């Protein structure tokens, strides 16, 4: 009985430690935005078009709510560059981690090096 209790305690403690230390796997989504730019090539409007799960291998939309704080962060991130003013409207995407709703500069390849 004691080995079973010790094993259960170890599993619970390991899970809690992994979550607290950030080692738990995070789920990333791609947020597709419809953007328009002004004549200076700066983002004028930015609207969520859909959210996809890149790991699914499809571009089908998933039911994930994107908070306004993320849209604000995405606008700030995407506004760091100038875009061609023709076409005025285009689609772009950023990666979204629900555990970091104010961060739009996520690079999923950064951890693979």
Say what the pLDDT of residue 111 is.
Answer: 65
- Mean pLDDT (the chain) is 82
Tell me the C-alpha distance between 15 and 13, whole Å: 5
Torsion, Cα of 20, 25, 26, 32 (10° steps): 170
pLDDT in tens, 59-78: 999 999 999 999 999 999 99
For the question of whether the overall pTM of this predicted structure is more than 0.85, the answer is no
Q: What is the DSSP string of 13-53?
A: HHHHHHHHHT-S----EEEEEEEEE-TTS-EEEEEEEEEE-
What the block records as the tokens of 60 is 């089908």
């Amino acid at each position: 009985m004691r080995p079973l209790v010790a094993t259960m305690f170890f599993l619970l403690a390991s899970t809690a430690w992994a979550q607290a230390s950030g080692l738990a796997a995070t789920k990333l989504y791609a947020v597709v935005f419809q953007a328009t730019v002004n004549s200076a090539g700066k983002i004028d409007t930015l609207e969520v078009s859909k959210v996809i799960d890149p790991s699914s291998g499809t571009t089908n939309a998933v039911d994930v709510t994107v908070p306004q704080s993320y849209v604000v962060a995405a606008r700030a991130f995407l506004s760091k560059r100038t875009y061609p003013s023709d076409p005025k409207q285009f689609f772009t995407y950023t990666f979204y981690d629900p555990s970091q709703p104010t961060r739009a500069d996520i690079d999923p390849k950064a951890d693979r090096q």
